[in-house]
Each structure stands twice: as structure tokens, then as C-alpha cells.
Amino acid sequence: MSHVVVFGNQKGGVGKSTLSVLYAYWLANVHGQSVCVIDLDTQANSSKTLRRFNSEVSAVELFGAELDSGIAGGSEQRIALVPGGKRLSDIELARPETVIPAFRKNVASLAQGFDAVVIDTPPALGLRMSSALIAATAVVCPIELEEYSIDGVTDMLKTIFGVRQRYNPGLQLAGLVLNRFNPHSVRQKAAMRQLLDSYREFVIPARISTRSAIPEALAHGLPVWDLPKSAAREASAELKALFGLLQQRMDAAGVGASSTGVTA
Ligand SMILES: Nc1ncnc2c1ncn2[C@@H]1O[C@H](COP(=O)(O)OP(=O)(O)OP(=O)(O)O)[C@@H](O)[C@H]1O
Ligand SMILES: [Mg+2]
């Protein structure tokens, strides 16, 4: 069974799209896996970065009737994008008992054609976030160590554990990921202490610093490690270390593609 990995946090601008895209590139380019990326955001940021991998299916269709035909996995490009867009806002007004099972079924059938599925979510705890968590095997929460971040984490964790208890017992919290980390910030140090006091066991022991190479690479539709610049090297090392740890945790949880041999 393939991993279905959601990048979720109802807080905006914490790195969900950035890390979704880079994790998909890491699986595809570094480990030769086939990856389907589903963008559930109306802003469609990850869709813009990955537009050259556009498939025939758009994300809003996954909430409707069963897909007639799947999307080809394992093509030469290895990544297939199911793009987001404005129409996704209609889903928030739809009947949960209709759209959630439809999404879950369509994602499960897509997952059969790929080594992994990555879902980028909007910054809200709405129906699309619930649908993603119900269809997933694992969730990654990117966070920034800023004021109020801990309150936001608590709400997100409540949602994740609520979904796990009621709808999806197989859902694993792969971890909280510290993005835009600044070891010199007094504010971030204080927030870090608070985070570790409350949620130490969920925090991935890897950090992504603020690096201009990250948005620069994504603006070119490239993974950071393909940016021909020495400044991209530190960013790449941090990202690869993070993804390796996340993958280890997901494989150790006993679900998903442990047999594909992905390691750090
Ligand atoms: N480690 C980083 N270093 C530098 N810039 C970063 C880093 N992580 C994210 N960014 C930038 O911060 C902005 C927000 O990131 P991103 O769009 O991934 O967040 P998001 O959680 O998906 O936001 P939204 O909730 O609006 O969907 C983007 O411009 C992105 O390029
Ligand atoms: Mg986003």
C-alpha cells in the first residue's frame, strides 16, 4: 500500500505548499518513485510550481463521481499533478456525507497507481482538510515558531486525533516540522521551549532555515537541489535530512511503501 501524505496546518504561510512540492520532488528525483500530488487549495500554489506535470483530472473532481480512468503513474516524469483551483471553494458548502467518501474512494484508487500520494491543503480546518485527513495514511504539520503558533498546533492536533479516533484509525502523525527556523531569534527560542514542553514526542529533530534558494528554485519549477548555486546546498541538505526522517517514521509505522526501500 502506498503512503498518502497530507501536509496540513490551518495556519497560513507555514510552508505546506513548499514542503509538499519538495517532498514530491525528493521521492521522484532522489528515490525514483512515482508520485501523485493533489492540490486542495484554491490559491493553487503547488499547482503553479508543478504545472508541467498537469494531469487530465482536477482536484475538485475527486470529490464527485468515481473517476472513469486513473492517472498514469510511473511515467518518465514520475510526478503527476491533480491541480487545485477556484472551484474547490464550492466543496466547503457541499454535504460532508457525500464528498468525504467520494474523495476517500478516488484517492484510494489513485494511490494504487503510484508509489506515493502527496496532498497539499488550504489554510483552514474545513471540509477539504477533513477529507484529506480521512483519506490519508500520514500527516505532516509544518510550523513556524512564532507567537500564537502553539495555540494553532493544539487545534491542528485536536483535529488530527479527532479524525483518527472517529474515521481513520490508520492515520499517523508523521510529525511537526520546524520551518523558517532561526536559531538566533529569542522569540523562536521561547516558542521552541513551549512547543517541546507540550509536544516533544511529535517534533521532528530536523529544522528548515529561512533560505532564499527555496522560493527561488520553486519559482523556476525546480527542486532546490537542481538550482545551480552554492546557496542551495545548505537548503538541500536540510530538506533531504528532514524528508529522510519523515520517511523513516512513516515506514516504521508499518503502513505504506516500506518495501520500496526509501531511506534517508
Ligand atoms: N524555509 C523557507 N525559506 C524561505 N522561504 C520559505 C521557506 N518556507 C516557505 N517559504 C516561503 O514562504 C511563503 C509561504 O510558504 P508556503 O506557500 O509554502 O506556505 P503555505 O503553508 O502553503 O501557505 P498557505 O497557507 O497560504 O497555503 C512562500 O512564499 C514560500 O516560498
Ligand atoms: Mg499553500
| Separation of CA 15 and ligand 1 centre (Å) | 4
12 Cβ below 6 A of ligand 1: yes
257 assigned to some structural domain: no
234 vs 73 pLDDT, higher one = 234
Query: Does the pLDDT of residue 261 top 50, yes or no?
Result: no
pLDDT of residue 73: 62
Q: How far is the CA of 72 from the CAs of 61, 102, 113, 128, 187, in angstroms?
A: 16, 20, 7, 24, 47
| Residue 255: partners with Cβ closer than 8 Å, 6 or more residues away | 1, 3, 137, 138, 170, 172
Q: Report which ligand 1 atom has the smallest distance to the Cα of 14.
A: 21
Please count the structural domains in the chain.
1
pLDDT tier at 256, thresholds 50, 70, 90: very low
Lowest-confidence segment of 4-13, 33-42, 88-97, 223-232 by average pLDDT: 223-232
Q: Which ligand is nearest to the CA of 182?
A: 1
Residue 225, pLDDT above cutoff 70? yes
264 domain residue, yes or no = no
Contact yes or no for 209/238 (Cβ under 8 A): yes
For residue 177, is pLDDT > 70? yes
pLDDT in tens, 80-122: 999 999 999 999 999 999 999 999 999 999 999 999 999 999 9
- For residue 162, the Cα-to-chain-centroid distance in whole angstroms is 19
Overall average pLDDT of the 204-215 stretch? 95
Q: In what order do the strands lie in the sheet with 172-181?
A: 79-82, 35-39, 116-120, 3-7, 138-143, 172-181, 203-209
**For residue 74, what pLDDT is reported?**
55
**What is the pLDDT at residue 76?**
66
Q: Which domain holds residue 235?
A: 3-252
State mean pLDDT over 8-34.
96
Q: Write the residue with the smallest CA distance to atom 16 of ligand 1.
A: 15
User: Would you say residue 143 lies in a domain?
Assistant: yes
Q: Give me the chain's average pLDDT, please.
A: 91
CATH number of the domain within which 144 lies? 3.40.50.300
pTM: 0.95
182: Cβ below 6 Å to ligand 1?
no
Which of ligand 1's atoms lies nearest the C-alpha of 45? Answer: 17
96 Cβ inside 6 Å of ligand 1:
no
Q: How far is the CA of 259 from the centre of ligand 2 (A)?
A: 30
Q: What is the pLDDT of residue 263?
A: 39
User: For residue 55, what are the contacts with CB-CB under 8 A and spacing of at least 6?
Assistant: 36, 71, 80, 81, 82, 83
Check if the beta carbon of residue 254 is closer than 8 Å to that of residue 172. Answer: no
The pLDDT of residue 148 is 73
At residue 259, the pLDDT reads 41
Report if residue 88 sits inside a domain.
Answer: yes
Cβ(62)–Cβ(82) under 8 Å? yes
What kind and span of H or E run contains 188?
Answer: helix 186-199
Q: What is the mean pLDDT of residues 67-71?
A: 76
Question: Domain for residue 182, yes or no?
Answer: yes
Q: For the segment 23-32, what is each residue's pLDDT rounded down to a tens digit?
A: 999 999 999 9
Mutation choice for ligand 1 from 9, 17, 42, 180, CB with most ligand atoms inside 8 A = 17
The answer to whether position 262 is within a domain reads no
Is residue 191's pLDDT more than 70?
yes
- Residue 258 in any domain: the answer is no
Percent of the chain past pLDDT 90, that is, above it, reads 81
262 has a pLDDT exceeding 50: no
Domain-embedded: residue 151: yes
d(CA 8, CA 161): 13
Q: For residue 75, is pLDDT > 70?
A: no
Residue 69 has pLDDT above 80, yes or no: no
